[in-house]
Amino acid sequence: MICPVACETLTMPPLERRCQNNEERMPFLGPLLKTVALILDFVFGTYKWIVIIAAVVSWVRPDPYHPIIRFLYSATEPVLYRIRRTLPFVMMGGFDLSPIVLILALQFIGQVFIVESLLQMAFMMR
């Protein structure tokens, strides 16, 4: 007696003829892109909150040797320094507006371009 599963595999056409479009070949790509988009959205959102907390904490002059303050400083200061160096007008009359510029850039670039584009590509690949 011949196994019916073995007969089916022998008579099936090759993968190129069997699959007409990318959906059948890579069904995992749409959910993968959606997952990457959601992870990036979480990362951008978390970093925005870190920038906000660092800006608020900078108003009260905390202990610079506290581990949380050192983390906030090390996580935000390299990016804020580049913004201050590139855009010198963000320092006006003693006010540092670089956290606002960074938050707007994270919101615009992260949400509008990267995350939204990945979500649209994931939706098209469903």
Domain ranges of the chain: 26-124
**How is residue 120 written in tokens?**
């649209």
Q: Which residues pair with 95 in a beta bridge?
A: 92
Note the residue count of the chain.
126
Q: Which residues, at least 6 apart from 121, have a Cβ–Cβ distance to it below 8 Å?
A: 33
Give the helix ranges, DSSP H, for the chain: 4-11, 15-18, 22-25, 29-58, 67-86, 98-105, 116-124
Query: What pTM does this model have?
Result: 0.73
- Encode the chain (126 residues) as per-residue pLDDT tens digits: 455 554 445 555 554 444 445 445 567 888 898 999 999 999 999 999 999 999 999 889 889 899 999 999 999 999 999 999 999 888 888 888 999 999 999 999 988 889 999 989 888 887
Taking the C-alpha atoms of residue 99 and residue 77, their distance in angstroms, rounded to an integer, is 10
**Spatial contact of 40 and 62, defined as CB atoms under 8 Å apart:** no
pLDDT number for residue 18: 47
C-alpha Rg value of the chain to the nearest Å: 25
Residue type at 116 in one-letter notation: E
Taking the C-alpha atoms of residue 76 and residue 81, their distance in angstroms, rounded to an integer, is 9
